[in-house]
Structure 1
Amino acid sequence: MGISTMGWIGRGAAALAIYAVAAGTASAQDKELTVGMASTFATVDPHEESNSPHNAMSRHIFDSLIYRGGAAENEPQLATSWEIIDNTHWRFHLREGVKFHDGTDFDAEDVIASVLRARDKPSQAFASYTRNITDVTAEDPHTVVVETSVPDPMILNSLSRIRIISSEHADDDVAAFDNGTAAVGTGPFKFVSYTPGDRIVMERNDDYFGGASEWSKVTLRMLPDNGARLASLLSGDADLIETLPAEGVARVKSSDNLKVIRGQSTRIVYLGVDVARDQTPFITAKDGSKLDKNPLKDERVRKALLMSINRPAIVQRVMQDNGTVAHQFVAEGYFGHSDDVDEVSYDPEGAKKLLEEAGYPDGFRLTLHGPQGRYVNDSDVLQAVGQMFARIGIDTKVEVMPWSMYADKYSNGEYSVFLGSWGVNTGEVSNPAIAIVAGRDEAKGTGRYNGGGINDPEINKLLDEATSTLDEDKREPILQKVSELTFNHHYLLPLHYENVVLGASKDVDYKPRGDKYLLAYEVKSAK
């Protein structure tokens, strides 16, 4: 007999009812919505990549078994309820009467095909979420059982990340999704066209089971350039833009037709450092000659780098107060936050002493890498950090590039010191730790974005334990220890948490989400 989870189911069903009503009943109206995205996505294939702009885009066309709400709550979507059969088997009851955009019926075969496709894709973009899934089987057309290799307390979150496609397109390639042939979901909007690097256009799904959106047409424009994105809002070309540039806040506030929308996010921005190689490619002596060892393998050097960064000043001046200084994966009050993580203060003189102790009294030369237009004021943050490194004797060159060029290189560990970020959409520590701190292991699905080559046996062991422990009271202290080891050893250098700052027409309303997704289905006409 399965273990009942009706408490989850009841709350979720109520949430979905509110969600459906909130979608509006204006299906007969012809209203168009244009959103200016702050980052780009590279494909419409929902399983090829896993990053915030891509996953937010795919949510418009495709649904998941579980809907992840703006406050990281689990709500029913294509699954109406679920229960634990035993420690490694979960049963999901599927919503009946749902159709794909091409009119075909949704059933268990589509779930099986989608989950296994996401798990087995060569890109391994969803490895962090599918790593424990061993099989998915159908008990009947509207009931599936997900089997995991170990007890997995995060399985609901994991399944909320995986979009459900039609099983008829399970073997289709990326091109088939990008040209629309395979971009057939059950979601609130239907694919119309996709122009890489520019925009995706969608039309309303009038038969959506959650209720038709009031927007008959939605355009997501990719506008990573701050000036272009702000201009699109000021000119009226966009109704809503992500990441309102700091320099545009006053202009938006003074406008009779525009407004600023603010909220909190769980996205941490950090510097990753190469702690794996004996010689690291982008650090040399000041005269350009090779060093006999990698300075970043010395914990004192890593701490010195962090001590040299005036993070409060970056938040105030570079981020224009649109951020909060970070010391660990999650802020106080979130699951896995530890009071025993050292909060390193700005101390350039102390940083110089640590460098001297480590054998680098004159510093060294490094190149700092990062993306441009992916995170809030990312290139400006890097320039500020570079100047601060220089003040402790580290000659720093900053190199930035488009996200499309940067993404694979940083996650594959090609750089010495690099800018990274993770949206902690689960609101707890295991999600970022598995992806960016755990030792890279394709078979286990860990460390997919561990660009610094971190491979601490104690952290790996703790994460194995945490991700197979269903008892939350036992699980939290394990994750707190992961936080302590990660940040007290300075494997990552935390900078700040991003805040959500949107620019919008006064004709629309939107409640910002913790994951920073901007979803057209949740945008409403202002009352």
Structure 2
Amino acid sequence: MLMALAMLTASAARAQSLTIALASMPTAVDPHFHNLVPNNAIAAHVFDRLVHQDERQRLIPGLAEAWRPVSDTEWEFRLRRGVVFHDGAPLEAEDVAATLRRVPAVPNSPGPFTQFTRSIAAVEVIDPLTLRIRTRSPAPLLPIDLSVIPIIPRRFEGAATSAFANGSAMVGSGPFRFESFVPGERVTLLRNDAYWDGRPPWARVTLRIVPNDSTRAASLLAGDVDAVEAVPLTQLAALRRRPDLRLWRAVSNRVMFLSFDTHRDLTPFAAERGGRPLATNPLRDRRVRLAISKAINRPLIVERLMENEAIAAGGLLAEGFFGASPRLAPEPFDPDGARHLLREAGWPQGFQLTLHGPNDRFPNDERILQAVAQMLARIGIEARAEAMPFNLLLARGGPPDHAFSALLLGWGSNTGEVSSPLRGLLATPDRQTGMGVANRGRYSNAALDALLSRALGTVAEDERRQLLEQASEVAIGDHAIVPVLYQVNIWATRRGLTYAARADEWTLAQFFTPDP
């Protein structure tokens, strides 16, 4: 009898717990330190936002039950009544104000959230549940931007990043309470029974950090975890054959692309064939960047490396996202045209170039990097691929002291709009305004900046969409970056679990639901 009771107790405990294998290493748990998908997804378990996004990145009420423009430069947000933080303190408008003050004050951020708060001129607390936000100019994207900012209690406004890392400041109003974080290993969470949007289905959640693709897939196949994100494409066939597993897909808001050092007269990882130093930086020439784009056989990469679980990219976001231009088709594979452009640009013999990129961040990132290097070699650019862990890549290559010449990277749109990569990747860098915070090549184009500025201040949705499309076309027409592919996000779960697959790649425990 005791043995049977113990078995029932263990079974009940397992039914109340969820273990997920994550693919990417978070760089911080401070919710405002580094705007990065794995960081943001972990934060979304513990901290809530004023405005939420559904799985297709459409806006829905969050901590704010309603919002409205009061004038062209003022928005009012009405908070939910009865929301409490994990320590029992009530959520009030002053907590939101304190959060918005903290975002630009976080020191040494490698990827700040300031691009989402740059338009804010002042925050006025009207009453405990109402605040008004005044902007410097018309800011129609403010509700979208605030859907990216986690709200913290006011008493942690001055908290150091280390206070979040040790757990003392990890107090939010989200669906789960923070228990522990072991860097490189796991995050453990406990259910918030008082969550305003309903009691989550899991009493305990363990987020295991498993960057190795084979190990992550094996952990699901062996039953050691209940779900995995970023299903490795090399294991896709094996997972499909298992009747006890399920796959969940969504077209991603992420584009994989090549970024170039277009700012400096000399660039560190390019040389003449034979290794002699260059007199100029070839990557500053639009024709060279176009030649590189023409050298890439995107359909082949999608078919051979991505198992057709990706889409060849011509723009900054896939079709269907707001502001994605339908006129930006993938650059056709044209090696003869690429060689002609190199000759025209004054590089008939080509040159040497090192391509850097991650080996543990995106699906098949290192293999894509190697494939692109081989394709460039066929047009006369003697390219070498050098992959490294993503954290090391970030540490070495952050603006303004960018250390690379050409990078394979990915950008996911936090907002589901083309405004996100335009602001973050391609706008002329300006830390005070939050523009170009991830513009690693220091690209600058006055025409692009002007179109983007107009779009960000345009309230009429159709007009804003057209301006964003135009800005995208200017950027891609100048080959500021070279898009390679749009990801398809894939999760796998054991049978009996359902997941609402998300465009934003976020793996959120509250949206894994057991079958009835």
Q: Using structure 1 for the length normalisation, give the TM-score.
A: 0.92
The residue that corresponds to 1:508 in the other structure is 497
CA RMSD of aligned residues (A): 1.6
Q: CA–CA distance in 2 between the matches of 1:458 and 1:442?
A: 20
Letter in 2 for 1:262: R
Higher mean displacement: 469-478 or 214-223: 469-478
**Aligned pair partner of 1:87 in 66, 72, 78:** 72
Letter in 2 for 1:39: S
**Structure 1 position 254, deviation (Å):** 1.8
**Structure 1 position 286, deviation (Å):** 1.2
The residue that corresponds to 1:185 in the other structure is 172
The residue that corresponds to 1:176 in the other structure is 163
Q: CA–CA distance in 2 between the matches of 1:382 and 1:148?
A: 42
**Aligned pair partner of 1:416 in 382, 405, 417:** 405
1:20-39 to structure 2, matched below 5 A, reads 31-39=16-24
The C-alpha deviation readout for 1:414-441, integer Å capped at 9, x for no partner, is: 2111012111243322111000000001
* 3-state secondary structure, aligned to 2:83: coil
1:354 to 1:35, Cα distance in 2 relative to 1, 3 A: same
1:28 to 1:319, Cα distance in 2 relative to 1, 3 A: closer
Contact kept, 8 Å, 1:268 with 1:422, in 2: the verdict is: yes
The residue that corresponds to 1:406 in the other structure is 393
Q: CA–CA distance in 2 between the matches of 1:95 and 1:30?
A: 31
**Aligned pair partner of 2:190 in 180, 203, 210:** 203
Higher mean displacement: 189-198 or 392-401: 392-401
Structure 2 gap segments, 5+ residues each:
1-11
User: Does structure 1 residue 369 correspond to structure 2 residue 376?
Assistant: no
Q: CA–CA distance in 2 between the matches of 1:359 and 1:438?
A: 28
Q: CA–CA distance in 1 between the matches of 2:80 and 2:103?
A: 21
Contact kept, 8 Å, 2:356 with 2:408, in 1: the verdict is: yes
Q: CA–CA distance in 1 between the matches of 2:320 and 2:499?
A: 25
**Aligned pair partner of 1:69 in 34, 45, 54:** 54
Q: CA–CA distance in 2 between the matches of 1:102 and 1:428?
A: 35
Q: Using structure 2 for the length normalisation, give the TM-score.
A: 0.94
1:427-506 to structure 2, matched below 5 A, reads 427-506=416-495
Letter in 1 for 2:491: L
Q: Give every structure 1 segment of 4 or more consecutive aligned residues whose post-TM-superposition deviation is greater than 6 Å.
A: none
**Structure 1 position 120, deviation (Å):** 2.5
The residue that corresponds to 2:199 in the other structure is 212
Q: CA–CA distance in 2 between the matches of 1:56 and 1:222?
A: 13
Letter in 2 for 1:417: A
Letter in 2 for 1:472: E
Q: CA–CA distance in 2 between the matches of 1:168 and 1:120?
A: 15
**Structure 1 position 409, deviation (Å):** 3.5
**Structure 1 position 288, deviation (Å):** 1.1
1:228-377 to structure 2, matched below 5 A, reads 228-341=215-328, 343-377=330-364
Contact kept, 8 Å, 2:233 with 2:363, in 1: the verdict is: no
The residue that corresponds to 2:3 in the other structure is none
**Structure 1 position 451, deviation (Å):** 0.9
**Structure 1 position 150, deviation (Å):** 1.2
| Matched pairs, number | 501
**Structure 1 position 343, deviation (Å):** 4.1
The residue that corresponds to 2:88 in the other structure is 103
Q: CA–CA distance in 2 between the matches of 1:53 and 1:491?
A: 26
User: Does structure 1 residue 128 correspond to structure 2 residue 128?
Assistant: no
Contact kept, 8 Å, 1:510 with 1:522, in 2: the verdict is: yes
1:158-169 to structure 2, matched below 5 A, reads 158-169=145-156
Identity over aligned residues, as a percent? 40
**Aligned pair partner of 1:154 in 141, 144, 159:** 141
User: Does structure 1 residue 118 correspond to structure 2 residue 103?
Assistant: yes
The residue that corresponds to 2:28 in the other structure is 43
